[in-house]
Structure 1
Amino acid sequence: MEYYKKGELLELNVDIPTLFNNDMKDDAVVMRVKNGSRVKNLIGFAIRNFKDDKTRQITFTGAGPAVSKTITCAEIMKRKFKNIHQITKLFRKEIEEYWEPLKEGLDRLKVTRNIPGICILLSKDSLDASQPGYQAAGVYDALWSTLDTDKQKRKQSGRNRKRQFHDKQKLVKKHVEKPTNIKKDKKPKNDIGIAGKTTGIVEADFDGDSAVCHESKKKDKVNLKRREEYQKKDENIQKEQELGECKKDRLLKTNISEQVEETIEYAPTQDAPTQDAPT
């Protein structure tokens, strides 16, 4: 396709009344949905016209990527207006593309494409129920009522889960937080900590379960055992220090006594001076 450029594009519109076997009236509002059209603008125009009592029917047609928008428009209209009859038809839309040659001697090309489309007829009056694609009035309401009940059930289950989660968090906070009502007993004798500070036994009135109180009692017992072990270690260290000081004193005393004895043994003896007798 290097030697061709895109030319004309022709869309062959489908005759919509022939799709519905003459169930569609002449005064029906025809909404042609395209890929670039906005749902908000389409619905606003359709609601304004469909509120009038004179307009009894409305159609939404779209092909290719606009099929999803046509379906959404029809579903919104059914939600806005109740007791509406519906007929859905499928069709194929032909599009002719012409490619112009860039060089002499080449022929003009024609390309035909068949695009699938959908057409939805909404009517306030009753329609032929024998036609394929017919949907009676009230079916839509029943469908949405079941969907609403399912949503409510899901919301309730989600709320219950949130409540259970929050209750668990509250219980955990109660166990972690310090008790408000605390009673301190007198400090026991010979209850000294690692840093030499006295520590007293604390009794608390818990508002929680008995299991939590039992666990706190266990922890208190473990802490008491640890304190006793540290006290024993401190006492042993003190005894060892006292024994070491006693040994040092004894050694010093023995060394001093030995030195004194040596000085006494090796000290020189001095004789007293003698005087000659007078003649």
Structure 2
Amino acid sequence: MMHYKKGKNVEEELTRENIPIECLPADYLWMHVKGGTKVSNVLEFAKKTLDNGEHRSIVWSGSGGGVGKTISCAEILKRNYPIHQVTRLCYRKVEEYWEPQMPGLEEIVATRQIPCIHILTTLDELDKTILGYQDSKTKTSLWIEREAKPRGQQRNSQPGGSGENKKKFRQGQGQGSKQNRKSKHQKDQSKDNSRNAPEKMET
């Protein structure tokens, strides 16, 4: 590609019309989450919307670097509300244009497929047979793993991590120091006795 220069990017936009969820309600709040989105801010806005009754359904959409944050928003919301959820995965097309820098070369268009996720979270009941359905009691493996390991457990499992382990560790150090001092004292006393002993006289 040394004879080409990077040109424009043409990205397929995320819109309400291309959300691939067949059970979308007539009225819902659409939250487009990006890689730079602050999760706490969008969650606060979403909670206010549910609390004041303005909306009962929220659709979270994200692509590329925003996929992880989109999932986090939906999962955190499920921990605070009796949410019914439907998830859909798809791809968004991005075309990269490369302009030739030498005569005789043609323009190159590279097409990439960026992963996208759309998550419907609603307070209204949904058909449980819909593909990708989850209720508020269903958690992803990420949350299950975090809840299975209490905070600080990993530190306490190491030597000297908990208070009891630290106490035993210090006691062991103290006993070792006493034994070392006793052994050293015995050696010094043995040397002193050797010096003070009467010399053997030859007859």
TM (norm. structure 1) is 0.54
Look up the match of 1:25.
Answer: 25
Aligned to 1:169: 170
Structure 1 residues 70 and 152, CA gap change in structure 2 (3 angstroms): closer
Q: Is the 8 A contact 1:5 1:102 kept in 2?
A: no
Change (3 A) 1:40 1:18: closer
Q: State how far apart, in whole Å, the 2-side matches of 1:219 and 1:109 are.
A: 82
TM-aligned CA deviation for residue 110 of structure 1 = 4.8
Contact residue 84 and residue 136 of structure 1 kept, 8 A = yes
Following TM superposition, by how much is the alpha carbon of 1:63 offset from its aligned partner in structure 2, in angstroms?
1.3
Shift in Å, 1:140: 3.2
Alignment of 1:190-269 (within 5 A): 226-232=191-197, 235-236=198-199
Distance 1:153 1:3 in 2: 53
Percent of aligned pairs sharing the same letter: 29
Residue 173 of structure 1 aligns with an amino acid whose one-letter code is G
Q: Which residue of 2 is the match for residue 208 of structure 1?
A: none
Structure 2: gaps (5+ residues): none
CA RMSD of aligned residues (A): 4.1
Aligned residue in 2 for 1:115: 114
The AA in structure 1 aligned to 2:196 is Q
Residues 114, 236 of structure 1: CA spacing in aligned structure 2 closer, same or farther, 3 A cutoff?
A: closer
For 1:202, the equivalent position in structure 2 comes to none
Instruction: Say whether 1:139 aligns with 2:138.
Output: yes
Structure 1: runs of 5+ lacking an equivalent? 178-211, 241-279
Aligned-residue offset at 1:171: 5.3
Aligned length: 197
Which one-letter code corresponds to 1:127 in the other structure? L
Compare the two structures and name the one with the higher strand fraction: 2
Q: Over residues 124-178 of structure 1, what are the superposed CA-to-partner deviations in whole Å (9 max), with x where a residue is unaligned?
A: 111121122111222239x95785354279379548744123233135436757x
State the TM-score, normalizing by the size of structure 2. Answer: 0.71
Question: Take 2:34 and 2:152, find their aligned partners in 1: how far apart are those partners?
Answer: 38
**Which is greater in Rg?**
1
Partner SS, residue 93 of structure 1 = strand
Task: Assess if the C-alpha contact under 8 Å between 1:5 and 1:101 holds in 2.
Answer: no
Q: Give the structure, 1 or 2, with the largest relative contact order (CA under 8 Å, sep 6 or more).
A: 2
Give the superposition deviation at 1:91.
0.9
Closer, same or farther: CA 14–113 of 1 in aligned 2, 3 Å: farther
Alignment CA distance shift 1:18-1:147 (3 Å): closer
Alignment check: 8 A CA contact 1:84 1:123 kept: yes
Greater percentage in helix: 1
Q: Secondary structure at the match of 2:139?
A: helix
